[in-house]
A and B are shown apart, each in its own frame.
Chain A
Amino acid sequence: MSYNFKFDILLRYVPEIVQGVLLTLQFSVITMLCGLAIGLIVAMASISPLMPLRAFARIYVEALRNTPLLVQLFIVFFGLPSIGIRLGANTAALIALSINMGAYGAEILRAGFESVRQSQIEAGRSLGLTAGQTFRHVVLFQAVKTIYPALASQFVLIMLTTSVVSSIGATELFHQAAFIDSRTYRSFETYTLITISYLVLTLGFRAFFAGVYWVVFVRRPRR
């Protein structure tokens, strides 16, 4: 075998890779926020006393968690135009990612709410707090502390998952690989370098989230 590995010619494309990293982070943050917003609504529906709302939440979560993101993405990007909804690649990607994340977010948030013991809520109410105040001051902080690790690993997971949206031409880090590959014809080197870039991002964010956890929940426990 005489294949000459040439990683050095990729150096020229460092700006493209950096740009890709920023775009991927942008996708990840927006997905995380929109997904959590959707997840909050679905999680509330899932613990609602109304049967139809609970059923809706169940169907939403099961339908999205038991089908591949790639197919969901194709439905949004290629399928919706046939009923008159035409979306750009980046918009379609964000919608599909957020809807998908909503299902996982709902499960994480529900687990968080359920982890707060009933007696805590009763204690809050017996102190004269309204249901809303009890939720804000008693349930929320404890719930966030419980679900923080799950949220942190979910963020990293989203970051890795966003690579899938390059398949419909959304512009993020993995999309840059296709671009660099088309310019250099160095497929193996390009995809190796891009894959390693994700590893750097993952390790960096894991360390960052562990640091935040330590500062917020360990070093300064609230009273």
Chain B
Amino acid sequence: MIREFAGADIIYLIEAARWTLLLALTATVGGGLLGIVVAVLRVIPFRPLSWLAIAWINLIQGTPLLGQLFVFFFGLPLVGLSVDAWTAAALSLSIYASAFFGEIWRGSLQSVSQRQWEAGAALGLTYAQRLGHVVLPQAIRISIAPTVGFLVQLVKNTSLTALIGFVELTRASQIISGATFAPLPVYLTAAVIYFVICFSLSQLAHMLERRLHVAR
């Protein structure tokens, strides 16, 4: 039974976008925590650990996210974990995000001038105090805009999880498209929903960049 593409379908797509957002949010939190580890390993003055972090970043940034998704989707069951698409999607997107967050935050940390460290030391602050009171506040300021900018990539990339069968906005569009045989309006609607989410984030990133840049 083929039916028309109607208002109810648009509601269904908007509701499916919740899963897109939830997945992006999960990857932001998971990837953020792991990203802190990556960034720290990258900056601490102990070479083997930096190499490990660099290898990690190259491995993630040098392979397609789609490949990572499939490897996790087929690989997790082999180590006895449940196979559902959500787990594979959340895990691989978190790992994907960790490499990018790690690099963004490392860059932010290193863009704080070396003299700030020296000034802190000259004032008799300990390493932890210099990091906590001098360097981190500045680094976090610098990192906010690019971090939000990366979230746009993350939201867009959640669409790939449709290909391992996770029902988010793109997969929901495929389903509706199959039911209504109206692919053009369905995918255009999906595009509009993605646009609203991503454009808001891009504008936010631009605004933050302008605002936080002036103070430097």
A interface with B by C-beta (< 8 Å): 1, 3, 62-63, 65-72, 74-75, 78-83, 156, 160-161, 163-164, 166-167, 174, 177, 187-188, 191-192, 194-196, 198-199, 202-203
A-B contact count (CB 8 A): 120
Check if B66 is an interface residue, CB within 8 A of chain A: yes
Check if B202 is an interface residue, CB within 8 A of chain A: yes
Contacts of B74 in A (CB 8 A): 187-188, 191
A1 touches B79 (CB 8 A): yes
A202 touches B183 (CB 8 A): no
Contacts of B130 in A (CB 8 A): none
A75 touches B191 (CB 8 A): yes
Q: Which of A68, A160, A161 interacts with B194 by CB under 8 Å?
A: A68
Contacts of B202 in A (CB 8 A): 62, 65-66
Known: A63-B195, A66-B199, A188-B71. A196 touches B78 (CB 8 A): no
**Considering the chains assembled together, what is the distance between the CA atoms of A75 and B192 in angstroms?**
12
B146 to chain A, nearest CB (A): 15
Known: A67-B194, A70-B160. A196 touches B63 (CB 8 A): yes
B184 touches A79 (CB 8 A): yes
Among the stretches B38-46, B107-115, B136-144, B151-159, the one at the interface with A is: B151-159
Q: Which of A65, A82, A166, A192 interacts with B182 by CB under 8 Å?
A: A82
Contacts of A199 in B (CB 8 A): 58-59, 62-63
Check if B94 is an interface residue, CB within 8 A of chain A: no
**Considering the chains assembled together, what is the distance between the CA atoms of A78 and B202 in angstroms?**
28
A192 touches B71 (CB 8 A): yes
Interface residues on B, range: 35 or more
Instruction: Scan residues 29-79 of chain B and give those whose CB is less than 8 A from a CB of chain A.
Output: 58-59, 61-68, 70-71, 74-75, 78-79
Known: A3-B78, A198-B67. A71 touches B187 (CB 8 A): yes
B184 touches A203 (CB 8 A): no
**Residue of B whose beta carbon sits closest to that of A62:** B199
Contacts of A164 in B (CB 8 A): 64, 66, 160
**Residue of B whose beta carbon sits closest to that of A163:** B64
Check if B25 is an interface residue, CB within 8 A of chain A: no
B187 touches A202 (CB 8 A): no
A70 touches B159 (CB 8 A): yes
Known: A191-B71, A198-B67. A71 touches B58 (CB 8 A): no
**Considering the chains assembled together, what is the distance between the CA atoms of A182 and B179 in angstroms?**
27
Contacts of A81 in B (CB 8 A): 183
